[in-house]
């Protein structure tokens, strides 16, 4: 009997901040591996999710949004995103179609305009790299079909792409077709991960990410995105539970009361929601302790970068 042919490879999802990359990766994998918020620049380092389609294993690389970077962390994020694309077998450029359409019709917000500029930068970068990407127009749930076609034609005319998909990562429409296509594009070879593994991220890091998501979801208006979460302790308890200690770093003393909230209510909310999700994810009781530290220069601390796969000197 001959062995069944298997395929395995890497598919990088790149795109402007907030295009929906992490939502798409979670949708393709079928469980949560990467955090999602309404804020731009949520994803800070490449996150690997593992999806299976037939006999193919697709290792999805969720990348930080690509934009014009100014600070050190921004530079490291953008470099990591392009690095993810360079190393992958196939690249999907995910575009927020609603933002693009807004720009085309002259009714765009400043965020939409920024997004459209980032899309241009990425298209140019793909062309310079000399390889064709898959274009995936996302958020089609927000748009009429005729607007989508015009948009798709305009982007395809740049010659950076060899295929176009129209999807909604949020409601799943079109995602199955994209997944089948990615599976076909994987090179022949043995799988990289066991069949039941969906993510490749250390559990301490994932735990910190979940708390960061709740933090951003709760204080996205008040708090600039300069906050980080670190898991400082992760202990298995004799009763089968996990005891997790985390520190939230903010850059200014003035941010501390925002995170604490009145009578500590905000921090309590963040902790409760994070604990709930961690309990489900780890499938055991979780005792979570959160601390807030002010560290003006956390973005300039070298230790923060390499554990998550970012280059400090980008
Ligand atoms: N309506 C709609 N919203 C979507 C869709 N996909 C993602 N979103 C929303 O878009 C926002 C950004 O989603 P993310 O998945 O965090 O986007 P991202 O590209 O990973 O963002 P960064 O990590 O910041 O670069 C969230 O509020 C999502 O719920 C979609 O298909 N339709
Ligand atoms: Mg993301």
Q: What is the pLDDT of residue 153?
A: 94
**141 Cβ closer than 6 Å to some ligand 1 atom:** yes
Residue 173: strand, helix, or coil = coil
Q: Which ligand is nearest to the CA of 220?
A: 1
**38 Cβ closer than 6 Å to some ligand 1 atom:** yes
Q: What is the pLDDT of residue 313?
A: 86
CA–CA gap between residue 303 and residue 314 (Å, rounded)? 14
**93 Cβ closer than 6 Å to some ligand 1 atom:** no
Residue 56: strand, helix, or coil = strand
**Going from the N-terminus, what domains does the chain have, and what CATH number goes with each?**
7-185 (3.40.50.300), 202-308 (3.30.300.20)
**138, containing H or E segment:** strand 133-138
Residue 235: strand, helix, or coil = strand
Q: What is the pLDDT of residue 224?
A: 60
CA–CA gap between residue 227 and residue 307 (Å, rounded)? 17
**40 Cβ closer than 6 Å to some ligand 1 atom:** yes
With the most atoms of ligand 1 within 8 angstroms of its CB, the residue from 24, 36, 136 to mutate is 36
**225 Cβ closer than 6 Å to some ligand 1 atom:** no
Q: What is the pLDDT of residue 6?
A: 97
**63 Cβ closer than 6 Å to some ligand 1 atom:** no
Atom number of ligand 1 nearest to Cα 138: 31
User: Atom 2 of ligand 1 has which residue's CA nearest to it?
Assistant: 139
Separation of 27 CA from ligand 2 center, angstroms? 13
Q: Which ligand is nearest to the CA of 21?
A: 1
User: Atom 26 of ligand 1 has which residue's CA nearest to it?
Assistant: 38
CA–CA gap between residue 259 and residue 242 (Å, rounded)? 24
User: Atom 7 of ligand 1 has which residue's CA nearest to it?
Assistant: 20
Whats the size of the chain, residue-wise?
A: 314
Atom number of ligand 1 nearest to Cα 37: 16
> Is the Cα dihedral 118, 38, 62, 259 positive or negative?
positive
Tell me how far CA of residue 6 lies from CA of 14, 97, 192, in angstroms: 26, 34, 11
Tens-digit pLDDT profile for the chain (314 aa)? 456 799 999 999 999 999 999 999 999 999 999 989 888 889 998 999 999 999 999 999 999 999 888 888 889 989 888 988 888 999 999 999 999 988 777 778 898 899 999 999 999 999 988 889 999 999 999 998 888 999 999 999 999 999 999 999 999 999 999 999 999 999 999 999 999 999 998 889 999 999 999 999 998 777 766 789 999 999 999 999 999 999 999 988 999 999 999 999 999 999 999 999 999 989 999 999 999 999 888 888 888 888 888 888 88
**21 Cβ closer than 6 Å to some ligand 1 atom:** yes
């Amino acid at each position: 009997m001959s062995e069944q042919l298997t395929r395995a490879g890497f598919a990088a999802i790149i795109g402007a901040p907030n295009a929906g990359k992490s939502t798409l990766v979670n949708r393709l994998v079928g469980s949560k591996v990467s955090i999602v918020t309404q804020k731009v620049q949520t994803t800070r380092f490449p996150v690997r999710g593992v999806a299976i389609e037939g006999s193919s294993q697709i290792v999805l690389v969720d990348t930080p949004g690509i934009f014009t970077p100014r600070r050190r962390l921004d530079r490291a994020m953008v470099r990591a995103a392009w690095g993810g694309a360079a190393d992958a077998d196939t690249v999907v450029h995910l575009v927020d179609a609603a933002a693009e359409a807004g720009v085309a019709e002259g009714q765009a917000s400043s965020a939409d305009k920024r997004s459209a500029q980032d899309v241009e930068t990425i298209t140019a970068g793909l062309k310079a790299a000399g390889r064709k990407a898959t274009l995936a127009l996302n958020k089609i749930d927000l748009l009429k079909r005729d607007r989508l076609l015009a948009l798709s034609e305009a982007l395809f005319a740049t010659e950076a792409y060899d295929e176009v998909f129209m999807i909604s990562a949020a409601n799943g429409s079109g995602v199955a077709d994209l997944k089948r296509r990615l599976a076909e594009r994987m090179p022949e070879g043995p799988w990289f991960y066991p069949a039941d593994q969906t993510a490749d991220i250390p559990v301490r890091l994932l735990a910190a990410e979940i708390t960061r998501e709740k933090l951003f979801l709760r204080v996205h208006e008040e708090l600039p995105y300069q906050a980080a979460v670190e898991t400082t302790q992760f202990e298995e308890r004799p009763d089968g539970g996990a005891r997790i200690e985390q520190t939230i770093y903010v850059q200014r003393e003035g941010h501390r009361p925002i995170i604490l909230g009145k009578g500590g209510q905000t921090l309590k909310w963040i902790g409760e929601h994070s604990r709930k999700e961690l309990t489900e994810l780890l499938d055991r009781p979780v005792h979570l302790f959160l601390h807030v530290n002010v560290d003006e220069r956390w973005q300039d601390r070298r230790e923060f970068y390499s554990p998550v796969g970012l280059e400090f000197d980008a």
